[in-house]
Structure 1
Amino acid sequence: MSPTDMKDQTIEKCESVQDATTEDVPLQTILSPSGKVLVLGEAADEAMEFAKHHEHIELSAEEDRKVKRKIDMIVMPLFSFLYMIQFMDKTCISFAAVMGIQTDYKMVDTMYSWTTSCFYLGYLFASPFAAVALQKLPSMRTSAICIVIWGVIQCLHVTAKSYATFTLLRTLLGVLEAFVSPIFVIMMNQYYKKSEHFGYIGVLYGCNGLGTVILACISYGLYHNLGSYTMEAYKVLFIIVGCLTIFNGLLILFIMPNTPADARFLNDREKLAVLERIRGNNQGFGSKTFKWHQMKECFMDMRTWLYFLIGISVAIPNGGISSFGSIILKGFGYSTEKSLLMKAPIGACELVGLVILPLISYFISKRMIIAVFYLLVCVMSTCLLAFSKNKNVALAGYYITGIAPVGIITITSCVASNTAGHTKKLTANAISLIGYSAGNIVGPQTFRSSDAPNYPKAKAAVVGCYCASIALMGLMSFLNVRENRRRDKMQEELGDKYVVVENQEFADLTDFENPAFRYSL
């Protein structure tokens, strides 16, 4: 079939769609960007039901700012605190490494590396199950319960009598985190515009840096007063972090609704305002119906595998540096006590570097440009860490790597903004997290005991991974620009025959199915 025939056929389909939508029928149809006629109205998003029973409102800029400010004051602190605690749970093992845990559990060779890798093995194993469970069950409540259980298991670390038991507990933490991480993507789509995703996810990850600063100070204080406790200092650290986790889980359980339509902290007008805020996302609150065709589409989408590969490439450095940070500092010649405190600056660099992303996004709307710039800085800093003979220069390079989470921020924001259809979104998020988990499993294994204390091979691997992630982001940007232009051209050619059904945004269409969907760059 010639391109002209294909174009004529598409226009004919569009005319039939337009005729169908003018009839008084319960189901309506649209023409997807691929030329396929789709029937709407079955198993739509939860936001569709809310929209049907409420009148459409005009949202002024002032009212939009007011509602956003309220969300920022309630939702963002809860999830920023969760991100901070989540990171502290994972990385307190790095502080425990120089506080005596390796000696107490007789860790030799790669045994310490596996205390981090096994966490991500649990994460990797549970991610597919979490994707299905969080669609079928009330997502926020399910995750909140998992957070509370997670905190309890963190506290139980103090009871481990052997390396095997300790490793099992670390693996269970990874299983539970798989049921927590997806709610960040769900929350972003429920309350925030696509243009806000990158910056606000940056704020969440910036709180990881705050967690590092707090952990450094607590660990330093605990180690400085070793003789004051009835148990090892690192076990006190586990209890502190575990109790904070339980507290955060309870806050989310009692404050956060499963959808904004059920939010007790919003009045009826504000709930409608939230609905209007996210209308431009072409996504809604989420659908409880698992759709196999969306999962199949996710596997066929090249972007999914780019998310996976970028996740691996940014996670290998993360897994290695976060686990061996304190050990790297000891390799510079610092004492155990000072190496604990010296981790605070990398957290401060992460906090400042990532929390300012919303401000940078205000001036530079293209997230990929910002991400690539940040990763180029990471390449420079890891080169300093890997190849500089000057200790102070290498130390500066280590601290600058604090901004490296911009890689996973980009992937998380792209899954939130550029993957439509609730089943497809949760599947894509699970696949990206599997890639991220795999990278974090591999990362600590690159730091071999035979290369201690400088680990030159592992540091060189970090440089290569950041370069690979930059190339992959460039490819993803090219795909999105090309597809947006194709859809714009198709809409222009159809003219008046281009049909937009009322509340089409909340029909739980995928990005492949919705002709109004455009990929954020």
Structure 2
Amino acid sequence: MEDTEKTEVTTALQAVIANQTGRVNVGQLYRKIDFRIIPLMFLCYFYQFLDKVAINYANVMEFGNARPGLQLDGHGLFISYAIAEFAQAYLLQRFPVSKVLGCNVFVWGLVLCCSAATRNFAGLLALRVLLGACESVVAPALILVTSVWYTKRQACARTGLWYCSVGVAQMAGGLVSFAAQHGSQDNDLARGAFGGWRIMFLAVGASNLLVSFAVLLWLPDTVDAARFLTTDEKALVRATLALDQGGNGRQVFRPRALVEALADPAVWLLFCIVVLTVIPSGVIVTFSATLINGFGYTSKQSALLNMPSGVVSIIATLLSTFAILRGIPRWLGILAMLVPTMIGAGLMSFYRGQGGSLAGIYLINFTIAPLALVFNLVGSNTSGYTKKVTAYATLAISFSIANIIGPQTFQSHEAPGYISAKITILVTNGAAMLVTILLRIIYGRRNRKTEKAREAQLAAVVRGKPR
């Protein structure tokens, strides 16, 4: 498209927005969209993360006490999570996003319910593998849904809102664990017993089934399919997204876009940032309650003392994502979140008292927030449906890889110091800072090229360049 044609399109979109703004209350419109879309995304990510938190608390609750050898750290889940990612990306490319998401939520709810009835390691492992395959669709699907409805600037805060479900899941997991431990701890199904961690899995799984029905019934796939919006409201949203160059474009597979995404150095730098920041969070999510338990607290106390980790996650996520609305660059937000994580790792590594070590565990939860900013970076700097899906799938794979690596740094022979894990957290945070700065350099160069192109376009308009 020529510069003049682009200008005409921009002018036409601005005219549509101006016309519709006179008919539609913009603030009321986006509140309506927020109330319909964000709670559903929040619940999907909440329950996906609550499952991982459940493993953390189940370990403290003497997971498999009635069946020795049932202990599981979640590796099967994350291996299948990575393997299934591109298959899920194909489904997102081929079918409506809400239908793919809702069906996966339904299946993993059933799997969690079945997990409550497992009697041996093999059965639980098989279910965790299936669970990982279903959960792998969540993050890519939610980011696509966010980009369908919001501009680049709007998307960051909205991503932060549904991503706060991570912190809420950490707190809810503590409460569910605490409550479950007050019931029977006899998990022997052969005698008809049903208590402890089995109750926890059944409760979480049944809740997932309800969420799946809500997603299938109430989450629209496109702006045009939103029955809760008027014709004028739909026109305003479409024009706003088109002017912002937001949205996903046509849901058509383009092999060239797939190659472009995989050849983009920025995508691989984001891949590295996710791995380097999620390794510490993988350690904390999997072992924080166990570490607190190792300080001399009971399993019930450990469940409650781990709940402030969720508060830290929520505060960090809201601070970092809403700071973008105030003009703070995303890369700087990532760096700001890594500083408290580094301090927390230092406290956990070198402070000898219980209080300091506990504070260190809480501070490390700041490392959960950068992932929301990485999600938003992809949505803001990647165009085209195929390229977006490919980039999201790549990041989801990096997420699973990090969650496999993180727990491996906890070596049983190093207990209770776990020096390898502590050094890993320090090193990965430092490396993440360096990679983030490098990503900023690459995006800066691209932005300068884009800005020059816009300046040339405006100059052509001023000169009255003919078509």
Question: Would you call these one fold, judging by a TM-score over 0.5?
Answer: yes
2:337–2:367 CA contact under 8 A, matched in 1: yes
1:344 to 293, 307, 314: 307
Q: How does 1:51-200 map to 2 (within 5 A)?
A: 56-58=16-18, 59-60=20-21, 63-107=25-69, 112=72, 115-200=73-158
Q: Which residue type is aligned with residue 16 of structure 2? A: H
Gaps of 5+ in 2: 7-11, 188-192, 463-467
Do the aligned partners of residues 180 and 411 (structure 1) sit closer, same or farther apart at CA in structure 2, a change above 3 Å counting?
Answer: same
1:196–1:358 CA contact under 8 A, matched in 2: no
Out of 291-300 and 195-204, give the one that drifted further: 195-204
Do the aligned partners of residues 228 and 267 (structure 1) sit closer, same or farther apart at CA in structure 2, a change above 3 Å counting?
Answer: farther
Q: Which residue type is aligned with residue 41 of structure 2? A: F
Match in the other structure for 1:422? 385
Q: Distance in 1 between matches of 2:389 and 2:247?
A: 13
CA-CA distance at 1:405 after TM superposition? 1.3
Match in the other structure for 1:367? 330
Q: Distance in 2 between matches of 1:228 and 1:175?
A: 30
CA-CA distance at 1:368 after TM superposition? 1.6
Do the aligned partners of residues 476 and 388 (structure 1) sit closer, same or farther apart at CA in structure 2, a change above 3 Å counting?
Answer: same
Superposition CA RMSD, Å: 2.4
2:278–2:367 CA contact under 8 A, matched in 1: no
Deviations 1:78-103 (A, max 9, x none): 11122211110122011100112154
Q: Distance in 2 between matches of 1:130 and 1:227?
A: 38
Q: Distance in 2 between matches of 1:233 and 1:18?
A: 66
2:248–2:384 CA contact under 8 A, matched in 1: no
Q: Distance in 1 between matches of 2:435 and 2:234?
A: 38
2:347 to 365, 384, 387: 384
Match in the other structure for 1:210? 168
Q: Which residue type is aligned with residue 350 of structure 1? A: S
Q: Which residue type is aligned with residue 63 of structure 1? A: N
2:85–2:137 CA contact under 8 A, matched in 1: yes
Gaps of 5+ in 1: 1-13, 22-29, 31-50, 500-521
Q: Which residue type is aligned with residue 164 of structure 1? A: A
Q: Distance in 2 between matches of 1:280 and 1:444?
A: 45
Match in the other structure for 1:252? 215
Q: Which residue type is aligned with residue 155 of structure 2? A: H
Identity %: 27
Figure out how many residues of one structure are paired with residues of the other and give that number. 450
Deviations 1:188-243 (A, max 9, x none): 11111101222222222212111111111121121123369931310000011111
1:312 to 266, 271, 275: 275
1:364–1:370 CA contact under 8 A, matched in 2: no
1:193–1:280 CA contact under 8 A, matched in 2: no
CA-CA distance at 1:497 after TM superposition? 4.6
CA-CA distance at 1:104 after TM superposition? 3.8
Match in the other structure for 2:9? none
Q: TM-score, normalised by structure 2?
A: 0.90
Deviations 1:484-521 (A, max 9, x none): 1122224434655589xxxxxxxxxxxxxxxxxxxxxx
Q: Distance in 2 between matches of 1:287 and 1:492?
A: 28
2:75–2:404 CA contact under 8 A, matched in 1: yes
SS at match of 1:101: coil
1:191–1:277 CA contact under 8 A, matched in 2: no
Match in the other structure for 2:318? 355
Q: Distance in 2 between matches of 1:451 and 1:227?
A: 30
Deviations 1:329-351 (A, max 9, x none): 01111111211111111112212
Q: How does 1:211-290 map to 2 (within 5 A)?
A: 211-226=169-184, 230-290=193-253
CA-CA distance at 1:357 after TM superposition? 4.0
Q: How does 1:326-475 map to 2 (within 5 A)?
A: 326-475=289-438
Do the aligned partners of residues 116 and 492 (structure 1) sit closer, same or farther apart at CA in structure 2, a change above 3 Å counting?
Answer: same
Do the aligned partners of residues 66 and 105 (structure 1) sit closer, same or farther apart at CA in structure 2, a change above 3 Å counting?
Answer: same
Q: Which residue type is aligned with residue 56 of structure 1? A: V
SS at match of 2:267: helix
